Structure 1
Amino acid sequence: MIKRQRITTRIKHARQAWKNFRVYEVVSHRLNQSIGTSHFALTANVAYGQHERQNFDLYRAVSPRKDRALMVFVHGGTWARGDKSDYAFVAESFAKEGFDVVVLNYRLAPQHKFPEYVDDLIHAVNYVHSQQQALSISTENLILMGHSAGAFNIMSALYAQAPDYTFNCMSQIKAVIGLAGPYHFNYANDANLQQAFPLEQHYKQVMPYYYVKKNNIQHLLLIAELDLIVASHNSKDMHYALCRAGNESTFERVPYAGHISLVGSLSSRFSDYFATKRLILSYLAKVLN
């Protein structure tokens, strides 16, 4: 009887481990192992709130750009997984180009639903803006970049029906870069996503696609040619909505990339093999010129 209970317990643990397992965690670990540290100075675990997830890592470029452009990166993970430490390779890659980079954590589902994780992004950026001198950075040229759920968070922070909070540095946000973002979908139809959203709210009350307004921000929306996770219509629809509102938006498809490799291709190790980083740097060169 005891032996059977032990076997049952092991099976339960194995199932839970498989449920929590993400191929990307293995990939990001390998990518992070390959990065150098000569291009940045790291300040880790800077708190912007009281919750254990409300913190960020700051990578200050050793050879910063003259415009001191600051990139804030927001990770994906279906709003339920992911950690800033997984994306050190993104920060290293852009610090090498002279960008100061913030990689932030935010509260996760199912304990925290929309708009809490969106509010966290706003609080984090406002904190960075208020503490820029103490952090030895500048928010004069701010770039927001997110992958998957992180891209949604950014768009929702900018375009919401009735936001509880707003950016205190809106005029300094020069560009938004969305990597395979889900901006226009019905979460009620997906059991894996229901935990991240209030089901009593219709998706049209939540999706940023429906609340786009005019501003001076430049938008670059990238999709992966081989993405099997987030449908391409999300970025296409968002691009057209931005253009209809009179905003500047560019839509690009990255060849040979999948949903995960789209962000993985930003690493210094693989950026020469994909168009992702080149497209971003080319776009930012025009925006920040």
Structure 2
Amino acid sequence: MHLNVKSWKKQLHQKIELAKFMYRNFRIYDFGSYALNRLTPKQGYTVQHNVPYGLKARHRLDLYRSSAPRQQRPLIVFVHGGAWMHGDKKDYSFIGEAFAKEGFDVAVINYHLAPKHIFPSYIDDLSLALNFLSQSQQKLQIAAENIVLMGHSAGAFNVMSALYNPHPYPLQSKDKIRAIIGLAGPYHFDYKGDPLCADAFDQNLPYQQVMPYYFVEQNSIKHYLFTAANDNIVGHSNSMDFDAKLRERGNYSQLISVPRVGHITMIGSVSSLFSRFFSTKTAIMRALDDALK
């Protein structure tokens, strides 16, 4: 019996290590981001790569400017996912194009990654980027009067945590944030020993002292929590719990389920190549119209 338990623990440890390895090395390329970006149309917007928003190497963003008149262009700040372990803004040019063609300016940011950098370093980076964008409107030829924060997976956690955090950030543009769109975000879970993202958090710090769920405060920002119907990585309870907490505090929140997509394919389905076949982008545009009306 003792040997069986020991063998089972060994097998479990091996599976966890394999899961960590696979997810750390998994990139959006695995389902075709190279093709998405390569085939993404280049009309209707301009792009400025590697704009520094801070002093460190990962303090960079790509800025997609719509061809619409400047004062009519809301600003989307997009934060990528990747279990806080990997990912890069260059993989998401299809996101910049998808919304720049609709009249939005889009800033796609990089941030510091685990395991070298753990919570709250990636929230620190987002706060820095938001303040930079607010301060640099004239230089960047953008308007930061109507800001939408958008993130996928870990990036959705980041955008929520920029507002709901144990140590609130001095965001210069806080009163300009009209909406937060979280795509398949983890907002309420115990990361202790988690095979995918344990290394992104201090394991000695209880999740109740980290998760944005526990720090929701009342405000006028509109929240849109998207879940992927076929998500097998982030449980739907994350968004359901967070939606309930937001409403309990008197905040505006919508819980939106997208059919026929999984955790990763959800973000790919926003691309102009695939958006006609899935409802993801249409639902996001509906949320944006609702938030900015």
TM-score normalised by structure 1 residue count: 0.91
Q: Which residue of 1 is the match for residue 191 of structure 2?
A: 187
What's the offset of the Cα at 1:176?
A: 0.3
Q: Which residue of 2 is the match for residue 245 of structure 1?
A: 249
**Which 5+ residue runs of structure 2 have no aligned equivalent?**
1-19
Correspondence for 2:96 among 91, 97, 100 = 91
Q: CA RMSD in A?
A: 1.5
Q: Which residue of 1 is the match for residue 208 of structure 2?
A: 204
* 1:68-120: CA deviation from partner (whole Å, max 9, x where unpaired): 20000000000010000000001101011010000000000001000000110
Pairs aligned (count): 273
Is 1:31 aligned to 2:8, yes or no? no
Query: Cα gap change, 1:167/1:252 in structure 2, threshold over 3 Å: closer, same or farther?
Result: same
Q: Percent identity?
A: 48
- CA distance in 1 between counterparts of 2:182 and 2:24 reads 25
TM-score normalised by structure 2 residue count: 0.90
Bigger CA drift: 227-236 or 186-195?
186-195
Bigger CA drift: 26-35 or 222-231?
26-35
Q: Which residue of 2 is the match for residue 222 of structure 1?
A: 226
- 3-state DSSP of counterpart to 2:137: coil
Query: Cα gap change, 1:188/1:169 in structure 2, threshold over 3 Å: closer, same or farther?
Result: same
- CA distance in 2 between counterparts of 1:158 and 1:75 reads 17
Query: Cα gap change, 1:191/1:245 in structure 2, threshold over 3 Å: closer, same or farther?
Result: same
- 3-state DSSP of counterpart to 1:134: helix
- CA distance in 2 between counterparts of 1:78 and 1:178 reads 15
- 3-state DSSP of counterpart to 2:162: helix
Is 1:135 aligned to 2:149, yes or no? no
Q: Which residue of 2 is the match for residue 236 of structure 1?
A: 240
Q: Which residue of 2 is the match for residue 106 of structure 1?
A: 111
Bigger CA drift: 166-175 or 18-27?
18-27
One-letter amino acid matched to 2:195: A
Correspondence for 2:150 among 132, 145, 152 = 145
One-letter amino acid matched to 2:145: E
What's the offset of the Cα at 1:36?
A: 1.3
Correspondence for 2:49 among 44, 56, 63 = 44
Q: Check whether the contact 2:185–2:239 (CA below 8 A) recurs between aligned residues.
A: yes
- CA distance in 1 between counterparts of 2:131 and 2:26 reads 31
* 1:162-182: CA deviation from partner (whole Å, max 9, x where unpaired): 23x331111100000000000
- CA distance in 2 between counterparts of 1:20 and 1:116 reads 18
Q: Which residue of 1 is the match for residue 124 of structure 2?
A: 119
